Structure 1
C-alpha cells in the first residue's frame, strides 16, 4: 500500500502516472480494457482518486475492484459506476475485456443539461460505487453504444465532442431504464439543498486529497459553503433524510477514515492528523463512537477479510 491515496486532476495526469497510453482528451475518453498495459495482469494497482466519473462494461475476464469501502468481484456481464470522490483500486486482473469510459465534471457541466443528468442518474450518488448485472440484450445494447463512441472519439469528425456528450446522455438514460438500486444504497437527490450539501461534502475530501484544505470538516464549514445557517440547513436535511446535517457530516467523515485505514498504510495517528482532528485520542474516540470499535481494530478486521 501507499502512504496516501493518489489524486489525479484530469485524465492526462492519470494516464501519465499509470500507463504508457495517451488520453484522447483531458475530459473524456473510452478505452478497451485489453488496451490497458499488461503490467496490470495479475497485479494489484495502488488506490487512487480520479477527478472523473467512470463507467466500466466488462465482456470477459475477471478482476477485483475496490471502490472506497466495498470490494467487488467483477466478471463478464457486469457494469460498474464510480464518481470523482471514490477511492478505486484494481487487483488480480486476468484477461479482462470490455470498455471503460471516463468523463470529468467539466465535460458534463459545460452544458446546462449536464447538471440535470447528474441529479437524475443515481448511480453516481452512491457511497461505494455501484455494480450491476446486465442481461444479454441490455449488455449487447450498451456494448454497441460504447463501441460507437469509441470509434467516433478516434475519428476526424469536427463535432465529435459535442456528439459524444449527447451519446453519453443516451447511454446513461438507457442504464437508468435498465438498472435499479436499493433505496438505501443511494443518496436521495430529490431536493436541491440536499444535492448541494452532498456535493459540498465530496468536494471537501477532494480538496483535502489535493492538499488544499487546512481545516476540519464540520457542519459550520458546510453551512458556510452553502451560505445557509446551520440550524436552517439541519432542519431542511432532517425533512429529506430523517437525519440532521451533523449526523450526515459525521457519517461522511467516518467513511473517509475507514477508506484511509483500509486502503493506505497511514498510521492511525497520521489519519487523525490528515483529517484535522485535534489529536489521536480525539479521533479514536470519534471513530469508536461511530463504528463501535477502535481504528486499530477496524484495520485489523479489514486485513483479515482481505486475506
Structure 2
C-alpha cells in the first residue's frame, strides 16, 4: 500500500486529458474516447502510480507483460492474456512489473450517452465497485480481442470526420463480448436490473452522491429524506418502493453503499481508520467503527488485516 497522510491526497482526475497527462502518456483527441498501444507510450510514462480515482471508464489488455493492481476492493496480478476494467467507482493503483504490450482504451459517460440511455453499470457489471474486474483470456479470445482493438485503434487514428459512431460500435462489441466472457468466468455475478423509474433515479443519485463524497464535493452522506427530496417523493414511499423491488429499504441500501466505499478505502490505502471516517463524513471515528462492525461483524482494522 501507499502511505497517505490525509484523505485529500488521493488524486482525482476529472477527464481523460487530465488522467493521461498525470500518467505522462498521450494527449487524447477529445475527452470522449482514447485508445493507444501499451508498447508505444513514451519513456516518461509512470511505471507506478499513487492511489487515484478518475471520472473515466477504461479497459486494459495485456498481450505481454505483468503488473500488480489494486482496483476497487481487490488486488490483482495482471499477466499475459489479462483484460481488466476500471470505472469512476474504483480507487485505482498499479505497478508495472514487466514491460507491457497490448492496448488500453478510455471513454467517458458522455461517449456512451450519445448513443444509449442504458445504465452502464447495469449492462456491464464488471464496472461495479465490488466486481471481479479481471478476465483471463484463452488463445482464441486473445486473437479475437487483438483484432478488434487493432481495428478500433485504426479508426481512432484515421481522419474520418464522423468516426465517433464507429468507435462506439466497436467499443460496444468489445464490451458485449467481455460481458459474455465475464459471465462464463464469474458465473455467480448477477445483473440486478432496476426497472422502475423511482429505483433507477435513486440508484443514479446514490452513485452520483458517493462520487461527490469520493472527490470531496459533498459535506455529508445523504439521509433517506435527502434522497427522497431529490426524487420528489416521501421518504416512506421511497423505502417502500425499494423494499418491494430489491428486498432492502433505502436506509439499508445507503448503508451497504457506505460500507463498500469504506472497504475500498481500507483495502486500497493506508489511511487510518479515523481518516477513513473523516473521508466518509463521519464526525466520530468510534461511531464509524461501530457502524462498520454492525454491517460486517468485523472492526475496520480487522477487515483491513483480513481477519
Native 8 Å contact 2:70 2:76 kept in 1? yes
Root mean square deviation of aligned Cα:
2.5
Cα shift at 1:255: 1.4
Cα shift at 1:297: 3.4
**Mapped partners of 2:39, 2:117: distance in 1:** 30
**Mapped partners of 1:265, 1:120: distance in 2:** 33
**Mapped partners of 1:194, 1:50: distance in 2:** 26
Moved more, 65-74 or 230-239: 230-239
Question: In the TM superposition, what whole-angstrom CA distance separates every residue of 1:212-264 from its partner, at most 9, and x where no partner exists?
Answer: 21122332333333333332222333333332222221111011112222323
Native 8 Å contact 1:62 1:94 kept in 2? yes
Secondary structure of the residue that 1:216 maps to in structure 2? coil
**Mapped partners of 2:107, 2:60: distance in 1:** 12
**Mapped partners of 2:94, 2:129: distance in 1:** 19
Q: Call closer, same or farther: CA 1:36–1:200 in 2, change over 3 Å.
A: farther
Extract unaligned runs of 5+ from structure 1.
Answer: none
State the TM-score, normalizing by the size of structure 1. 0.87
Which has more helix, going by share of residues?
Answer: 1
How do residues 133-212 of structure 1 correspond to structure 2 at under 5 angstroms? 133-180=136-183, 182=186, 185-186=189-190, 188-192=192-196, 193-212=198-217
Question: In the TM superposition, what whole-angstrom CA distance separates every residue of 1:74-132 from its partner, at most 9, and x where no partner exists?
Answer: 11222212221111111243122211111010111123x25366643333345245212
Cα shift at 1:198: 3.0
Native 8 Å contact 1:126 1:186 kept in 2? no
How do residues 1-307 of structure 1 correspond to structure 2 at under 5 angstroms? 1=2, 2=4, 3-4=6-7, 5-38=10-43, 44-111=48-115, 113-115=116-118, 119-125=122-128, 127-180=130-183, 182=186, 185-186=189-190, 188-192=192-196, 193-299=198-304, 301=305
**Mapped partners of 1:140, 1:227: distance in 2:** 50
Secondary structure of the residue that 1:180 maps to in structure 2? helix
**Mapped partners of 2:63, 2:77: distance in 1:** 14
Cα shift at 1:73: 1.4
Q: Call closer, same or farther: CA 1:210–1:118 in 2, change over 3 Å.
A: closer
Cα shift at 1:53: 1.3
Native 8 Å contact 2:82 2:136 kept in 1? yes
Cα shift at 1:13: 0.9
Native 8 Å contact 1:44 1:90 kept in 2? yes
Q: Call closer, same or farther: CA 1:139–1:238 in 2, change over 3 Å.
A: farther
Moved more, 209-218 or 147-156: 209-218
Q: Call closer, same or farther: CA 1:117–1:85 in 2, change over 3 Å.
A: closer
**Mapped partners of 1:268, 1:196: distance in 2:** 32
Secondary structure of the residue that 1:115 maps to in structure 2? coil
State the TM-score, normalizing by the size of structure 2. 0.87
Aligned length: 300
Q: Call closer, same or farther: CA 1:201–1:37 in 2, change over 3 Å.
A: farther
